[in-house]
C-alpha cells in the first residue's frame, strides 16, 4: 500500500497534456528493479481478465519499454506498443527483439489508429499521470471496435489504508483526483502524479461509451515489510486468491477495469 500523504490535485489542465516525462533523464526500466511481485501481480490480472479470449489487433497504450506486450501477444494476432517517449521505445527494441510487436510513438490523448481499428486495448500505469482523462477515454472508445475490450488500470485513492484513515477522521473519500506528488515539481509542465476515485473513473468511462464488465484489486500485498518477510511465491499465491475477492471493496492500490465497447 502507498505511504504517501496526498493533497487535493488542481483542476484539469487547459493545454495539451504533457505525457513524455521519460525524456527528462528518467530511466523507467530501473523502476522495475526489485518489483517482481508487482510485475507478476499485473501479469496474473491480465491473464485472468483475458482468459479464454483471442483478439485480432491489440495495443498497449503508454506501454513504456514493452513490459507487458509479449504477454498480450499470446492473446492477440497483432500487438502495437503505443508509447509517447522515444527513450522508452529505444529501450523496447531489446525487450521486444525477435518478436513481431510494432512500436509506434504516440500518446493517449492522440492515438494514431483508425476508428475501430483495435479489438483489444490495455492502458496500465498511465492513469496516475492523467488527472482528467475524458480526452484519453474518448480516444480509446474511438479506436476500439464495437464489441472490443479495454483493460485500464487505475491508481486507487480509495485503497484500504485511505478508507480506514478517512473513516477514523470522519471525512468522505474525495471524488476528484488527488495528487500524490511528494516534492514540488521542478518543471512548470511536469507530468501529474495522482490517485483516482474508482467510482468517478467508472462514470467517466461509461460517459465515453465503455461499459464495465469486471474489475480486479491488484498488488494487494504491496508493502516493503511484507516483501522482506515473505517469499515472492507466497505473496503471489495470496495475490491470486484475493484479486477477485477484494475487488468489490476496491481494496488494493491498483484496480484493473475490464471494459467493453457495446
Residue ranges covered by each domain of the chain: 7-260
Per-block mean pLDDT, blocks of 10 residues, the chain (262 long):
38 47 75 95 98 98 97 98 94 97 95 98 96 97 98 98 96 96 71 94 98 98 94 97 98 98 97
CA neighbours closer than 13 Å in the CB half-sphere of residue 66: 24
Q: Is 12 exposed, middle or buried (0-12, 13-18, 19+ CB in 10 A)?
A: middle
Q: Cα–chain-centroid distance for residue 117?
A: 21
Contact 111, 128 (CB under 8 A): no
DSSP code per residue over 131-179: SS-HHHHHHHHHHEEEEEEEEEEEEBTTSHHHHHHHHHHT-PPPSS-EE
pLDDT of residue 190: 75
Contact 194, 9 (CB under 8 A): yes
pLDDT of residue 4: 37
Cα distances (angstroms) measured from residue 222 to each of 7, 8, 159: 22, 23, 11
Q: How far apart are the first and last CA of the chain?
A: 34
At a CB cut-off of 8 Å and minimum separation 6, what does 243 contact? Answer: 41, 44, 45, 48, 216, 217, 218, 220
Q: What top-level class would CATH report for the domain 7-260? A: alpha beta
CA neighbours closer than 13 Å in the CB half-sphere of residue 75: 22
pTM over 0.75: yes
Amino acid at each position: 500500500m502507498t505511504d504517501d500523504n496526498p493533497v487535493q490535485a488542481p483542476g484539469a489542465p487547459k493545454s495539451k497534456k504533457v505525457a513524455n516525462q521519460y525524456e527528462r533523464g528518467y530511466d523507467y526500466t530501473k523502476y522495475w528493479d526489485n518489483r517482481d511481485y508487482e510485475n507478476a501481480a499485473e501479469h496474473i490480472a491480465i491473464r485472468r481478465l483475458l482468459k479464454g479470449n483471442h483478439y485480432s489487433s491489440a495495443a498497449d497504450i503508454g506501454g513504456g519499454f514493452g513490459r507487458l506486450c509479449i504477454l498480450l501477444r499470446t492473446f492477440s494476432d497483432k500487438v502495437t506498443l503505443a508509447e509517447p517517449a522515444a527513450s522508452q521505445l529505444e529501450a523496447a527494441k531489446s525487450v521486444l527483439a525477435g518478436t513481431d510487436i510494432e512500436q509506434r510513438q504516440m500518446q493517449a490523448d492522440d492515438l494514431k489508429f483508425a476508428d475501430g481499428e483495435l479489438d483489444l486495448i490495455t492502458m496500465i500505469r498511465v492513469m496516475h499521470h492523467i488527472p482528467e482523462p475524458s480526452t484519453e477515454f474518448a480516444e480509446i472508445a474511438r479506436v476500439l471496435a464495437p464489441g472490443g475490450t479495454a483493460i485500464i488500470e487505475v491508481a486507487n485513492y480509495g485503497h484500504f489504508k485511505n478508507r480506514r484513515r478517512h473513516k477514523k477522521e470522519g471525512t468522505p473519500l474525495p471524488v476528484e483526483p488527488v495528487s500524490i506528488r511528494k516534492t514540488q515539481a521542478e518543471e512548470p509542465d511536469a507530468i501529474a502524479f495522482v490517485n483516482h476515485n474508482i467510482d468517478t473513473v467508472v462514470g467517466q468511462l461509461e460517459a465515453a461509451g465503455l461499459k464495465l464488465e469486471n474489475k480486479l484489486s491488484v498488488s494487494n500485498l504491496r508493502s516493503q515489510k511484507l516483501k522482506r518477510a515473505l517469499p515472492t511465491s507466497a505473496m503471489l499465491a495470496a495475490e491470486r486468491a484475493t484479486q477477485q475477492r477484494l475487488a468489490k471493496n476496491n481494496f488494493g492500490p491498483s484496480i484493473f477495469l475490464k471494459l467493453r465497447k457495446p
